Structures are given as C-alpha cells and as structure tokens.
Structure 1
Amino acid sequence: MKRTVLVTAASAVAALVIAAPTASATPHAVHVKGGHTSVTVAPAVAKALLSNGIAPIVTRAGKPSLTTVGHQPTLKATYPITGGSLTSSPLGGFIKHKGGLKFTNVFNGRSLEVKDFTVDLDKGRLTGHVAGTKTRVPVFKLDLSTAHVKLGKHGADATGVTLKLTREAAGALNSTLKTKVFSTGLTVGTADTRPRF
C-alpha cells in the first residue's frame, strides 16, 4: 500500500513537470502606457561627430540635455514612450516613442532625421522612421549583456543598454551626409528605458 502511494505521488509530480511548459507556452503580455527612454552619446563619439562637422540635433518631442560620462561632457536625449507591449518571461515585446534625432553636416548643409523610435526586444534592435519617407530602418543593435533590468508591478527599468550602429544606418548616414565618420558596429552610447504599465 505504501509503495502504491509513493508511485502514485511520483506519477503526479512527473505529470506536473511535463505539463508545466505547456501552461507557460504563451507568455503574458502587459500594455505599455507611458514612461521615457534616455540615450546618452559616448563622449568620444560626440567629439568625433562635432570635429567632423556633424551636429546631432534632438527633435520634438525629444528633449536634449548635457551630461557627463567619466567627467567628459556629452549629449543626452530623452524621449517619451507612447505605447507598446512587453512580456517578462521570456523578456520581449516592443516599446514605441515620439521624437527623433537629426544629423546635420554643417560643412555642406546636408541632413538626415530618424524619428519615432521603436525598441524591438524580440529582434534586439531599435528602429526609426526616416523623415520625409515611408521607410523604417534598423538604427541600433541592442546589447543587453551590459544592462541591468528590474521588473516591477507597474513598470520596468532597463539601464546601461549598449547601442551599436547598424550597417543600414551607417551606410545611410555616410551616403546622405557625404561623410565617412559613421561605421558599422560603432558603439554610439547607452540607453536607459523606463516603460510604465
């Protein structure tokens, strides 16, 4: 009798273990209602852009500010989050923003603006809409290995996400601005995102 009870209990536990993946196969998604994302340009990159006549300008509804990294001055841009959907296990989904970043070559007057950024956690990239076109391009690859992520009941905080310039963005910037300052894989800076549910 005792052996029968033990076998029955073991079978029940095994059934639960086998059934568990099925129960969590569809991750629960939460709707993103607001928040903000800040992008801090690496000081060396900011210096290289300015020395080559490339002025990065934060466009509405983004807000520019000056900050320091390692006691060196640099540019910081903060963008409001307008919506999205996130899952916690596995971490995924997307976050939408308003505002943009306009690069202008002061030597020849040529410019390129990318706006309305979307953070795509499933593909590990940030995309943007090229102003004046219907084209959306991958702007940055997201390196989450450097990030610190905290998930709460009403929001999430991801700080220190490394942003690396994509091949498509580097090519478009160099071609449009007639410069060679942008390169594929360039670590442009870091992002801190704080979506609220």
Structure 2
Amino acid sequence: MPDFKKLILRKFNYIAGSRYEEIMKAYREFLLTEEEMEIPVISSVLLVVDRFSEKPPDEIYDVLTSYPGAFIKVTYLIDGRLCALIRETLGEEAAKKFRINEKSMGEEFIRDISGRLSQLGVNFSSEILFEDKASFVEDAIENYDLLVISKHFGSEGLKTYNITPLAFRIVQRIEKPVILY
C-alpha cells in the first residue's frame, strides 16, 4: 500500500484533501496494491453452481489442484424465492414438481463435478440448497478463501453480456479472490 500512496502523491501532489481520496479510489481499480501482489494462501474453496452455470472447464480443475490440501465445498443452489413464488402462484403440487426437477438436475451436476474432483484426489464435500443465490454466496464466502463461480451464474447466458448481472454483483461485492469461468 505505501507504494500505491507514493505513486498517487507523486502524480497528484497538488490536489488537496477529499479530491485526493477520490483519485485513490478511482486508480485503485487499475493498480495492484502490495497486498494484492502477494499470492494469497488458499486453504478452502467455495465452488458455487446453479442450473445456468457452465460445467467447470479443465483449467478450473488444474487451478484447484494447485492448492494442495485445500478443502473444496461444491454447492448447487436452487432459487428459494422462485420456489416460494411457484407455490404461491401455481400451488403446492407445481412447487413440489419444480423442487424435484431442480434437485435431480443438481444431483447430476454435482455428480459430474464430484467425479472429477475424486479422480484428482481433492478433499471436497457437496450440497444442494434452496436459498437466495446472491445472499447465500455473499454470506458463505466469509468462511472460504476463494470463490469459483460461472459467468452465467444466476440466469441464462445473455447474448449482450459476457457475465450475468448476478455474477457481476457477487464479484463486485465480495473482497475475497474470485475465479470466474
């Protein structure tokens, strides 16, 4: 951080007070601080997927195996608010059918990821949850060192965007390292 401040002071030494702070915040997006230049110690990873997520590519598994001894938590999220909305509008039978279909899709997704992680000899566990996606990820990441998330997390891949609004929101709000695939 001291090098970052020195650079800003040298470049903008004639600007006083609050304007200096605004400039530091703006340039922080483009310059790495000393803390960011250090390789973080990763001992736990949260890999979050949903029905819209792509299957993790081989490169993700390569990265995950580069952290020896790291624990990986694979979580398949089903939108809990959507389940409640279906129950309220279409009835309990439709909500039950939706939950069963989503759960079987989640089990298949997790089976595929778990198989790959088992082949690599990685320490992991998996779960399927009915939760609000953004809130869950933002709260759960506090217990992990790294987040792995698909750029299509939260909604179908849009032709006009490279990353879904939900994935973008999550990446912006958390302060932990993120791998976006």
For Structure 1 versus Structure 2, the TM-score category normalised by the shorter chain is under 0.3
TM, length-normalised to structure 2: 0.28
Q: Which of structures 1 and 2 has the bigger CA Rg?
A: 1
Larger RCO of the pair (alpha carbons < 8 Å, separation 6+): 2
Q: Give the helix-richer structure, 1 or 2.
A: 2
